[in-house]
Homo-oligomer: A and B are copies of this chain.
Amino acid sequence: MSTRPVPERLATQLASGASGFAVTFDDVRMEDVAVASGIPRATLYYYFAGKEELLAFVLRTMLDDLEASVAIAQGRARDARGRLAAVVRAQLAHLAANPGASRLLLLNLGRAGRIGAIAAGIDAAFHAPVRQILIQGIEAGDLVALDVEVATTAVYGSVVAVGLQALLSRGGIDVDATAERLIALLWSGIAAPGPEARRARP
């Protein structure tokens, strides 16, 4: 980044205080961040060029964590289904563990996406792992031949929508149950199993 290197202490204090219950970038007032984090406003401006850069730092940190978490989870499985399940589960778990930042990011993709580092972070943490699994899965014959970009985006959209929905309406995510259902859906679709069987019904 173009900004000054951010001390450890600041980073942690921001992570806790910056994105509390905000649903909008405008909900985050610099003065509030200052109070919530215990860092004076002038100091915030000493380290960040503005609110945008500050939130970019917070959100980017969250995305970096997610990227790492996804990479680890994904390495635990061999087959396409297992790896996809691990990735989706890790993503949902991260949304559940960082509800504030997640909400703020996903409900404000317009503001957030215009920050290069954020757009790149979303791709690295959400799209890229899925894309890779799909490509390899198709090559291995585990997956049907499909448009990788469309499928990658569809997986991203469904994970994010389902996670966000849970966060907003239930205030949290039942990660295990939700991940299992979502993965079943992504893997097999919504159709009743066995097209012949269905056609043979009375």
Interface residues of A (CB under 8 A from B): 23-26, 81, 84, 103-104, 106-111, 113-114, 134, 137, 141-144, 146-147, 149-151, 153-162, 165, 178, 181-182, 184-193, 198, 201
Instruction: Assess whether A191 is in contact with B143, with CB atoms less than 8 Å apart.
Output: yes
Interface residues of chain A: helix, strand, loop or mixed (majority): helix
Pick the contact of A23: B110, B178, B182 (CB < 8 A).
Answer: B110
Known: A154-B161, A160-B161. 12 other contacts (CB 8 A): A23-B110, A24-B111, A25-B110, A144-B188, A147-B181, A151-B190, A155-B158, A156-B161, A157-B160, A158-B158, A185-B189, A187-B189
* Sampled A-B contacts (18; CB under 8 Å): A23-B113, A25-B110, A107-B108, A107-B113, A108-B108, A141-B198, A143-B192, A144-B193, A146-B185, A150-B181, A151-B181, A153-B158, A153-B165, A154-B161, A154-B162, A154-B185, A157-B159, A187-B191
Instruction: Assess whether B192 is in contact with A189, with CB atoms less than 8 Å apart.
Output: no
Instruction: Assess whether B190 is in contact with A146, with CB atoms less than 8 Å apart.
Output: yes
Instruction: Assess whether A146 is in contact with B181, with CB atoms less than 8 Å apart.
Output: yes
Instruction: Assess whether B191 is in contact with A24, with CB atoms less than 8 Å apart.
Output: no
Q: In whole angstroms, how far apart are the Cα atoms of A103 and B149 in the complex? A: 19
Q: Which 5 A-B pairs have the closest CB atoms?
A: A157-B161, A107-B110, A189-B189, A154-B158, A157-B157
Output the nearest chain B residue to A114 by Cβ-Cβ distance.
B23
Q: In whole angstroms, how far apart are the Cα atoms of A158 and B23 in the complex? A: 22
**How far apart are A186's CB and chain B's nearest CB, in angstroms?**
6
Q: In whole angstroms, how far apart are the Cα atoms of A158 and B189 in the complex? A: 13
